[in-house]
Structure 1
């Protein structure tokens, strides 16, 4: 049974792309064909839709980001797979290096 409180990112982004960014539909087709979008997918879609010009927007909303342990493990696995250091990973996901270091201490010890 699906949790009714869960955010339906796929529906939100499908509607957003249809109405405001139809030219980016082909670029994001692989994400929209997934059954569910992970938090990493949402971050990547957001970057592809809005690009780096949204830095001010993301800095303002940086405090609002929250990650559950499953997504933290995915991010740390991404770091290992792509052989990134903490700084590179933090830049990729637009977060603090200190956050990455704290996650590694907490979840990888």
Structure 2
């Protein structure tokens, strides 16, 4: 049986990071994202979504490379699996929606007994 070890660590202040990026590179977009930047706790999905809204997807190759270095917390994984259940998606459909591997979704379902 696979056990999941969740280490506690201090998360970066993504609100401050994105606010600094917007101030320096995109000052005209700062007001558009002010309500999102006030969140206290950003999930991995929030960070990915905010990053794509600010910068857009530059190219497929770069997006594929960035996907390899992503990590998801337990709450993010459970959100994805609940999303799948709520909309009755297959593993492939959820994987395409969140830009994951279908094998990753399958592995998460085995780990969390869903």
CA RMSD of superposed structures (Å): 2.2
Structure 1 residue 82, shift from structure 2 partner:
4.1
Unmatched runs of 5 consecutive residues or more in structure 2: 1-7
Counterparts of 1:106 and 1:58, CA distance in 2: 27
TM-score (norm 2): 0.76
Q: Which residue of 2 aligns with 1:41?
A: 46
TM-score (norm 1): 0.78
Q: Deviations over 1:45-81 (max 9, x none)?
A: 0121122334322211222111222221122123334
Runs of at least 4 residues off by over 6 Å? none
Q: Which residue of 2 aligns with 1:9?
A: 14
Pairing partner for 1:108 from 99, 107, 113: 113
Counterparts of 2:88 and 2:31, CA distance in 1: 29
- The number of equivalent residue pairs is 107
Looking at CA atoms only, which structure, 1 or 2, has the larger radius of gyration? 2
